[in-house]
Structure 1
Amino acid sequence: MVMVYGKWVLIVTKDKNVYILDHNKDDHSNIGDTNIGLYPKKMKELCGKNIKTFACNSYYVLALTEEGEVYSWGFNKKRKSDNGSHIPVILSTPTRVISLSEKCIVDIACGSRHSLALTNDGKVYSWRENYGHVGNESTNIFGDNLPWMMKPEFEGKKIVSIACGSMFNMVITDEGKLYGWGDNESGQIAVDPISHFAASDHSPFSPLGLYSYDPSEKKHYLCFREITVTDGKAIVKVTCGFEHTLALTDEGKLYAWGKNDNGQVGVNERTSFDPIMVNLPEKVIDIAAYGNLSIAIGSNETVYVWGDCFGQNITTPIPTGFCKIYEALVHSKSYYIMQKPLTVTITENYVEELLNILKSLEAAFDDLLTSDFTVQVEGKFIHVHRAILNIRCQHFRKMIQHDCIENGNENLPSPPIHIVSDKFSYIVYKAFLKYLYTGIVVLPSDKVLELMKLAGEYCETNLKKECGRILEQEVTASNVAFFYKKAIECNAKEFEEFCFQFALCHMKDVVLSKEYIKLDMTIKDNFIHRAAEENAFRT
């Protein structure tokens, strides 16, 4: 299971270990870590537990186990880097939500700063998280940081599904009825806000005891509002963006309403409007929304997107070549947060067979008996296979095709010999060819820069990125200027950005280093200009 949220990645392995890939580029300056990147850290508090799912936002994460236990941890933005910017860092370790310990939770959801939990008997609990809380808010429509059961409006109703928008909620009952409450400023709940509310319970945990409401604003529902926009059809799924809602009926029809500034409702030229039935050419079998993006999967497994996607506002659903909802979420500008974890199921037989194939390929490398192509570097021979080079490397593909055309696809030397210029060393070129067989770089770190240069000349983008990841472990404040220059020369954009961000966190040490002084003026000027844009120089 994999869950991406912001700059962090959660991974649950088959043996029930839980890891977080923590992007600590802004955190290391305070703990003495001179390297930055994604580092796996075991979350001991969750290891050994049967993790069912995660829910998260920009401030905190919830974890739910198969046994119905809920754990929570979060971030704040109070730590500063050397350039003065506020950095989100992990604030706490996973802690069980004790107030729910006597309940069996079957689902969880997160809004911007609040959470919902659904029990196995159809009850809904709501609470507010304090992680990352900034500013002074006098209103609270979701309760405090202790979970409380939503009542009395839901008494006698069994909830089977929950969803959170930024500051509003939606739930579905076992009868297929849809209810919502919370912020309604953009009509994401309903288009006819009522001006007053009634509740039979005036305890501190009732809606009336939680929020002072101005009837003239008509922008919040404190009590649960039934949404009857689907002509009496049963709702089977609901999902929420920041301020818009999608609801799917049992007949495969999709309805949308709420904010539409990016076209996420599916109609052009309207910013906030009544619920509509989204015009799609086939029945809908699944839906998703996040931020200002809407996604639907048709009965023919076509993935449709509209709203904030591909760097533009798409006002009507368009078909894509995507196979999964996750692929569409990647193309939204909103936030790098997955709506649900991705579960990857691989059988033991498949893994064993895959490992056998990889071992066979590795064994075939530099095998004189089976090779049909020879590469000569510094007078030494490396025995390879034209088919693998043709499949794995654009440079060799063009060369082999050119040779075949010139020789009429016949009478090629057997085996052909390709002589490499003295630009690259034997050890580096052999490591490059072995990478084509195995996908692994086996090379001393002091030779990786040469391999990165080779990868650049041969248009091997993935190899160039891998070289950058290896070199990240070698970067320090005293040598980052050198690596920054080399990244520019190799057009290694990811590694260049890594070096730049590292330098920002160690600005004083970097500009005083010998390698920085050696930089030519053009690179220095560009670096200083970029640093200024990042507010690195405080006044």
Structure 2
Amino acid sequence: MVDVTKWPMFSLMRVQDLASVRKACVFGASANEAIYITNDDEVYVIGLNCGNCLGTGESSSTIVPKKLDFLSGKKVVDFSYGSGPHVLLATEDGELFAWGHNGYSQLGNGTTNQGISPVLVSANIINKKVTKVACGSHHSMALTDSGEVYAWGYNNCGQVGSGSTANQPTPRRVSCCLQNKSAVSIVCGQTSSLAVVDNGEVYGWGYNGNGQLGLGNNGNQLTPCRLIGLQGSCVSQIVSGYAHSLALTDEGLLYTWGSNTYGQLGTGNKSNQLSPVQIMTDKERCEHFRSMFQSHWNEDLKEVIEIDQFSYPVYRSFLEFLYTDTVELPPEEAIGLLDLATSYCENGLKRLCQHIIKRGITVENAFSLLSAAVRYDAEDLEAFCFKFCVNHLTEVTQTEAFWQIDGGLLKDFICRVSRCGAFKN
């Protein structure tokens, strides 16, 4: 169940209706409009109806949840809201629907007529399967299952990425530097756009007056440009606010850039950042202890921290992380460190341990790693190890580690593999 009770607009809903909410998005200037998806994949809206953003086919507001019958039976995989306001929604079948304000053709239907009901967006993407959507204030983006990025709508700052500032009435593929790249994620700021490609590179285009593109300057960008400040990092997730952005790497490092008027970048000041800056809990402390740690640590201290439950390398790495936010440890020792990190609720260290373990997975140790992931509640690592075991099922089931695992886990693994169809003739 999604906890939506923090928003007053849901307070009038019945308990059974609240329990059915699977995914929700609350929007509007005063958080007084919402769209939500139920467990049985029905789409409901509630609240004011500014700019026809509820898509009910009429302009009146509603304090009672109203189902969008036009979308009934279509499983929603992603949706997004733009402050224009307008809404984009992608279904499991790859269809793209839009409604709301359309003064700049942000609905992608080639007109500037308001969309009071969901309309299927088909121009230029009729044979494409849309998997993700993103909304700026008056522009839109869509990502297909083949990694292509499409953009349309208002383009005064180049946020559509076409190389000009002319508005784009229908979806147009964003090419240039993305032509031979496969994108995996897209986000929009107010008048800017960002995309992450499959090798972890990030590209930005559009308005850049506050450095929200992270390019090291504040000039607008009419076509996609790579963020050199993230070179050497593999970005796995990215989000954007009005004029700032955050990126998370596969090693659990967080970078921010752009507008910082309210301290939203977490840098300890209110200065805008034109390039990505790594956020640390206390940078001065980390640098101080990093130097002290590297200068004074030696093997003679081994007996001081040796405790039977964990090995010396595990404790050493734990202390090193606390002082420097880094870990250097072989994959075979990372399981013990994952255990220690779990005991002390060090989620950042847990992410690093999982990254190290993933790099060291083999057929011989895969099932042991899966068992450890289950034991320490490391969901991401568990999913990774399970997929590896399924992909190498014959070899894994012939290893010593497989037959040494307790019966409960073994039974659960066999059931999960069966549901994946691994035992079908």
The residue identity in structure 1 corresponding to 2:226 is M
Pick from 253, 269, 279: which aligns with 1:302? 253
- Shift of the 272–122 alpha-carbon distance from structure 1 to 2, 3 Å rule, reads same
Could you say which residue in structure 2 is the equivalent of 1:287? Answer: 238
Could you say which residue in structure 1 is the equivalent of 2:11? Answer: 41
Could you say which residue in structure 2 is the equivalent of 1:22? Answer: 8
| 3-state SS in 2 of match to 1:99 | helix
Could you say which residue in structure 2 is the equivalent of 1:312? Answer: 271
Pick from 30, 47, 60: which aligns with 1:74? 47
Please list every run of 5 or more consecutive structure 2 residues that lacks an aligned counterpart in the other structure.
51-60, 108-113, 264-269, 283-425
Structure 1 residue 230: Cα displacement = 2.4
Structure 1 residue 238: Cα displacement = 0.5
Structure 1 residue 57: Cα displacement = 3.9
Structure 1 residue 151: Cα displacement = 1.4
Looking at structure 2, the residues matched to 155 and 174 of structure 1 have their Cα atoms a distance apart, in angstroms, of: 13
Structure 1 residue 261: Cα displacement = 1.1
Could you say which residue in structure 2 is the equivalent of 1:205? Answer: none
Contact 2:257–2:277 at 8 Å: present in 1 too?
A: yes
Cα deviations across residues 260-314 of structure 1 (Å, max 9, x unaligned)? 1111011344331142211214211111111101111122211100012323321
Structure 1 residue 244: Cα displacement = 0.8
Could you say which residue in structure 2 is the equivalent of 1:265? Answer: 213
Structure 1 residue 126: Cα displacement = 0.4
Looking at structure 2, the residues matched to 21 and 146 of structure 1 have their Cα atoms a distance apart, in angstroms, of: 25
Contact 1:117–1:125 at 8 Å: present in 2 too?
A: yes
Could you say which residue in structure 1 is the equivalent of 2:173? Answer: 226
Cα deviations across residues 217-259 of structure 1 (Å, max 9, x unaligned)? x531111111112251100001111111110010011111111
The residue identity in structure 1 corresponding to 2:27 is C
Cα deviations across residues 127-157 of structure 1 (Å, max 9, x unaligned)? 117xxxxxxx966542511101011321111
Could you say which residue in structure 2 is the equivalent of 1:398? Answer: none
Across the aligned residues of Structure 1 and Structure 2, the Cα RMSD in angstroms comes to: 2.7
| 3-state SS in 2 of match to 1:172 | strand
Structure 1 residue 21: Cα displacement = 3.9
Could you say which residue in structure 2 is the equivalent of 1:51? Answer: 22
1:167 aligns with 2:138: yes
- Shift of the 22–60 alpha-carbon distance from structure 1 to 2, 3 Å rule, reads closer
Cα deviations across residues 46-98 of structure 1 (Å, max 9, x unaligned)? 32314234253436221122322111123379xxxxxxxxxxxx963332222
1:118 aligns with 2:77: no
| 3-state SS in 2 of match to 1:146 | strand
Alignment of 1:232-251 (within 5 A): 232-251=180-199
- Shift of the 125–297 alpha-carbon distance from structure 1 to 2, 3 Å rule, reads same
Contact 1:55–1:109 at 8 Å: present in 2 too?
A: no
Pick from 64, 74, 96: which aligns with 2:37? 64
- Shift of the 297–41 alpha-carbon distance from structure 1 to 2, 3 Å rule, reads same
Looking at structure 2, the residues matched to 72 and 43 of structure 1 have their Cα atoms a distance apart, in angstroms, of: 12
Could you say which residue in structure 2 is the equivalent of 1:275? Answer: 224
Cα deviations across residues 482-524 of structure 1 (Å, max 9, x unaligned)? xxxxxxxxxxxxxxxxxxxxxxxxxxxxxxxxxxxxxxxxxxx
Contact 2:88–2:99 at 8 Å: present in 1 too?
A: yes
Alignment of 1:329-340 (within 5 A): none
| 3-state SS in 2 of match to 1:19 | coil
1:189 aligns with 2:160: yes
Cα deviations across residues 380-433 of structure 1 (Å, max 9, x unaligned)? xxxxxxxxxxxxxxxxxxxxxxxxxxxxxxxxxxxxxxxxxxxxxxxxxxxxxx
TM-score by length of 1: 0.43
Alignment: residue pair count: 250
Looking at structure 1, the residues matched to 24 and 90 of structure 2 have their Cα atoms a distance apart, in angstroms, of: 13
| 3-state SS in 2 of match to 1:72 | strand
Contact 1:108–1:117 at 8 Å: present in 2 too?
A: yes
Pick which of 158-167 and 267-276 moved more: 267-276
Could you say which residue in structure 1 is the equivalent of 2:292? Answer: none
Identity of aligned residues (%): 28
Looking at structure 1, the residues matched to 174 and 188 of structure 2 have their Cα atoms a distance apart, in angstroms, of: 14
Could you say which residue in structure 1 is the equivalent of 2:375? Answer: none
Cα deviations across residues 80-127 of structure 1 (Å, max 9, x unaligned)? xxxxxxxxxx96333222221242222211111111111110000001
The residue identity in structure 1 corresponding to 2:202 is L
Contact 2:218–2:274 at 8 Å: present in 1 too?
A: no
| 3-state SS in 1 of match to 2:48 | strand
Alignment of 1:440-519 (within 5 A): none
